[in-house]
Amino acid sequence: MRHEDYKQLLALEAVGALESDERGALHGHLPSCAECREELRELTDAASALVYTVAPVVPPPALREHILERVRAAGLAEAPVDPSEALDRSGALGGSRRAAASGGGRTPAVAPEPRSVLRGFSLWQLLAGRPALGFGAAAAAIAVLLLGATTLSLWGRNQALSAEVSRLYDRLRATEGELAGQREQLASARDVSDLLAAPGVRVAELTGKQPAPGARATLAYDHSTGRALVMATGLPPCPAGHAYQLWLIADKKPLPGGTFKADAEGRARLSDRLPQGFSAPAFAVTLEREGGVPAPQGDVYLLGSAS
């Protein structure tokens, strides 16, 4: 069958007037044709709505006899009849009988089958025939359009809110990082203040040597507890696998201390613990392997004497 043949069966299927073989052929075509599926759905909705919009009509008393006469003449060739003309003829049955009896020479037209009538109607013709149904369909279409516009607006608003939340979250993380740095600086300043306030504290000023002549460091340590703190500036970043190491120099013999690294701005801080009661006249900082070494091997970056 051609595609147009299937389309002619849609209106009949919407009102349940198809025969079994035609219904089988149509339902075999529908899965592969979205256009026919959509038109069948619209026709079915329209046919269902017509049940509630069509006013009941009381047939004329002579209509049954008229229909029986048409059935007897079913063997004759079908002649297309306008549905409105058929209704007019059924209402004026007596006049038609007299005209036929007078031998006017006109062959009575056979009433078309319901399927023949429905083949000539499309969805838009059904809607045009019932203004109330057409108004309802238009209202439904407008409602669908408004719903789609509202959904699109809400989707756009949701996207904007998501972007704003993401921006605020990034800002919050940056603020938390800044606060963590400030807390660390505050803790460092508190440690320095506490150490410098100790009665037995000693301070040594270390200056930069040839690898970093602009470097400076302050070393404070408590002679009674051995607690020590080194704060340096101007140090270059350590190469991979290396770190700065503190040395305590007494009797020209260096003793190893802790290791530390400088940040991208050349600042460094080391909290260390020296032997209690140990007195070192000088301190030095060298660049060694990461983790420290027992004896200095690298270049001296800082050197200074205790006050």
Q: How far apart are CA 232 and CA 215, in angstroms?
A: 7
pLDDT digits (tens, 9 = 90+) for 9-62: 887 787 777 788 888 888 888 898 998 888 888 888 777 766 555 555 566 767
Residue 125 has pLDDT above 70, yes or no: no
What does pTM read for this prediction?
Answer: 0.42
- Per DSSP, 225 falls in state T
CATH superfamily, with its number, for domain 200-306: Superoxide dismutase, copper/zinc binding domain (2.60.40.200)
Tokens of residue 214, six digits: 């602009």
- Domain coordinates in residue numbering, the chain: 3-128, 130-197, 200-306
Residue 221: CB partners within 8 Å, gap ≥ 6? 195, 201, 202, 204, 227, 228, 229, 274
pLDDT digits (tens, 9 = 90+) for 227-236: 889 999 999 9
At residue 243, φ and ψ (nearest 5 deg) are -155, 160
- Point out the least confidently predicted range of 119-133, 143-157, 207-221: 119-133
pLDDT digits (tens, 9 = 90+) for 246-263: 999 888 889 999 999 999
Nearest to 133 by CA among 43, 57, 58, 56: 43
H helix runs in the chain, sequence order:
3-14, 20-29, 34-53, 63-72, 83-91, 93-101, 114-119, 123-129, 131-197
pLDDT (0 to 100) of residue 87: 45
pLDDT (0 to 100) of residue 138: 72
Q: Using an 8 Å Cβ cutoff, are 115 and 11 in contact?
A: no
Q: How far apart are CA 262 and CA 277, in angstroms?
A: 29
How many residues would you count in the chain?
307
